[in-house]
Amino acid sequence: MVDDIAGLLPRTREAVLAAGERILADFGAPRDVRRKGRIDLVTATDLAVEAFLTTELARILPEAAFLAEETAAQTVLSGLTWIIDPLDGTTNFAHGFPFVCTSVALYDGQTPLLGCVNAPILGQCFTAAAGQGAFLNDAPIHVSTTDSLEAALVATGFPYAIRENLDEIMTDVRAMLDATQGIRRPGSAALDLAYVAAGRFDAFYELALNPWDVAAGVLLVAEAGGRVGGYRPAVPYRLGDFRILASNGALHEGMLELLGENEESEEKEESLRQPGGIIPPGPP
């Protein structure tokens, strides 16, 4: 366990902000864009940012292991671990859409200790440390006070395995469009969660995400006064679970009811979950 979590956060933030300079430099002219899967992209920027962060974070906390998107293997999450998504929203980045970020979190097993989500194109850096609150560019943030689904702006995302989950996705989108003020799909789960923490979105849900997509955002929402859990089934969330729901708390039960329990099998969830709650990365 780390004794001074709050003391680690400024150094972590500094490293993530420095990594953001590479994203800024490459934005508008991404290099070496290639496919990891049918619609899953990786760029030279993803790889460069991840290499930079693993070097810098190892200096900050040498005893911690790494779970990073571009270099992860099937891994059990245990002990101190840096969890890194170097460029969340790579497809956005490749198309010049600015909703992209870097997400870095430090966990002890399944316990989040600190998190940083930096959106360099937007000039927004979200940070949190366990028990210390959540911040945007050093100003405190809090989840919204919206308590009506009709007044709620809800975010979601669509997984790379969209064909395999299309019926479920469309059923949920239909329910959200009918019952809420609106639904948004910006394309970066880490930023979606940060926006829930900042009260810009009232709730967020998605399926088939990997730990690096949500690790920092989960802590941001919790420290900003929100609630994070699973849905179908409505269980406490663990990194690697198939479905995640984050909300301002006031809307959580309503969102669960809206998403509803269906016959979408828990067998599917268990087949994707690995020991320690980690989903293996997608195809290379």
Q: Which residues are annotated as a binding site for Mg(2+)?
A: 69, 85, 87-88, 213
d(C-alpha 50, C-alpha 53), whole Å: 5
Task: Return binding residues.
Answer: 69, 85, 87-88, 213
Residues 6 or more apart in contact with residue 168 via CB below 8 angstroms: 207, 262, 264
Q: Are 279 and 239 in contact (CB under 8 A)?
A: no
Measured between alpha carbons, how far is 53 from 59 in angstroms, rounded to an integer? 10
Cα–Cα distance between 50 and 106 in angstroms, integer? 15
* CA gap 185, 157 in Å, rounded: 5
CA–CA dist 14, 20 (Å, integer): 10
Contact at 8 Å (CB) between 108 and 80? yes
Q: What is the DSSP string of 139-183?
A: EE--------GGG-EEEE---S-TGGGHHHHHHHHHHHHHHSSEE
Helices (H), strands (E): how many in the chain?
8, 14
CA dihedral 252, 253, 254, 257 (to 10 degrees): 120
Largest CA distance in the chain: 50
Q: Are 147 and 134 in contact (CB under 8 A)?
A: no
